[in-house]
Amino acid sequence: MSQDREILAIKQRFGIIGNSNLLNHAIKVAVQVAPTDMTVLITGESGSGKESFSKIIHSLSARKHGQFIAVNCGAIPEGTIDSELFGHEKGSFTGAHDSRRGYFEVTNGGTIFLDEIGEMPLGTQARLLRVLENGEFLRVGSSKVQKTDVRVVAATNVDLHKKVDEGKFREDLYYRLNTVPIFVPPLRERGTDIELLFRKFASDFAEKYRTKPVVLTDDAKILLMKYRFPGNIRQLKNLVDQISVLSSEEKEIGAEKLSQYLPAEGSNLPALYHNPDRDSETISERDILYKVLFEMKRDVYELKKLVLGILENGNQSGQLLEEHKELFTGMEDPVKEKTIEEAPTVDMEATPPVTELKIESAPRDEEDVEDIIHETEDDDLSLEKKEKELIIKALRRHNNKRKHAAKDLGISERTLYRKIKYYELED
């Protein structure tokens, strides 16, 4: 049997739908590692179908007649996970009325699938490492060493290497588990598999409830392919079931109707994205932050130039604002009547001091203009330093009369009082 036919037969046997290269590669690795007793680590997002690969490995191995047990490490409380995995002796803890065999003892000669391995407590990780290295374990409350012959297949949807760096996962266990890695691709990276799965789930629903399956128009298929599906296959199945139930009369679903069922994606969440100019290289979040910071610095520089222009040409401020109105897009208080009337109010108790500036007219003398020019050319972006200098100038200008200084700065007298205390300017 050729490799392609073997992969097709495995898909049919385990109900795997799809033809993407990433999916086929994952199945190929599972088939190759199955006849061995090597430990396998399956990685992939939640809902991508990692458990199916553990079953493939067990069914194609010499242990296929032995027991297969799937354990979700994240669903077992930390206080009882040792007892569940390794068993316990009678009286070893409150409620232990009888001795109990754990999963590693029960599945002797078989395969144990440890899902969400990243949620396993550190103490249990040490016990698991001993099983992987020499097949030995101790029941909770016992000093007698037990032996077991169990193959371990682990899975996780988190970055274990990052957990190792954070001290939340043992490094030696990580490398012991990661003997043969298998990556299960997320649904959004499987191309036309999304449409195939939609049709499969729609057909299954129609067959189960004796109804006509829903179908997608061409524009709806395009919309479906563009959606990211953070919940992967599980989310897609729920979506198809929901559409099938609520579209009892109209079975042809267009893009407009489909969009009503697709939940809004979390566009405000930080996410990695792909550069179309690079084939498979992913731009990191650090690159994104650099880009944002450079844009912020550019905007600050443009605002400095704009303020300087207004101060030097007070009678032409309206024209200057109109030329630079793109700097104020997205602000809650837009520019009104071609003047900057008010700076945003800041709660000093909730955030660090920031500059609050109100521009009402041109500077009163040439010395102020020189000061502004000097500040514009200076590339020091320390907000506290600039704010302190502005407060000192305002107080000097009004002979330390706080009421007039606060009005000149465009802030309340109470806020000015707090800032004077903060910068120790009371003398």
**Which two three-digit tokens encode residue 257?**
């109707």
Q: Helix, strand, or coil here: 339?
A: strand
SS3 of residue 252 by DSSP:
strand
Question: DSSP letter string over 33-90?
Answer: HTTS---EEEE--TTS-HHHHHHHHHHTSTTTTS-EEEEEGGGS-TTTHHHHHH-B-T
Residue 340 pLDDT: 38
Topology (CATH) of 188-261: Helicase, Ruva Protein; domain 3 (1.10.8)
Q: Which residue has the higher pLDDT, 310 or 314?
A: 310
CB atoms within 10 A of CB 265: 12
Q: What is the mean pLDDT of residues 276-287?
A: 44
By C-alpha distance, which of 72, 48, 70, 50 is closest to 235? 48
pLDDT at 356: 42
User: What is the pLDDT at residue 19?
Assistant: 94
**Per-residue confidence at 364, pLDDT binned at 50, 70, 90?**
very low
Q: How far apart are CA 235 and CA 198, in angstroms?
A: 11
Q: What is the pLDDT of residues 221-280, one digit of tens each?
A: 999 999 999 999 999 999 999 999 998 778 999 999 999 999 886 543 433 334 444 443
Tell me what pLDDT residue 315 has.
55
Q: Which residue has the tokens 């395969």?
A: 111
pTM over 0.75: no
The pLDDT score that the predictor gives to residue 372 is 46
CATH 1.10.10.60 in the chain: give the residue spans. Answer: 342-422
Q: What is the pLDDT of residues 297-312, one digit of tens each?
A: 767 777 777 776 676 6
Domain with CATH 1.10.8.60 in the chain: 188-261
- pLDDT at residue number 350: 43
Tell me what the mean pLDDT of segment 79-96 comes to: 91
The mean pLDDT value of the chain amounts to 81
Is 345's pLDDT higher than 50? Answer: no
CATH number of 342-422: 1.10.10.60
Band the pLDDT of 333: cuts 50, 70, 90: very low
Q: List, in order, residues 6 or more apart from 224 with CB less than 8 Å away.
A: 194, 195, 198, 216, 258
Angle, helix 413-422 to helix 383-397, in steps of 10 degrees: 120
Out of 3.30.930.10, 3.40.1160.10, 3.40.50.300, 3.40.50.1820, the CATH code matching 3-185 is: 3.40.50.300
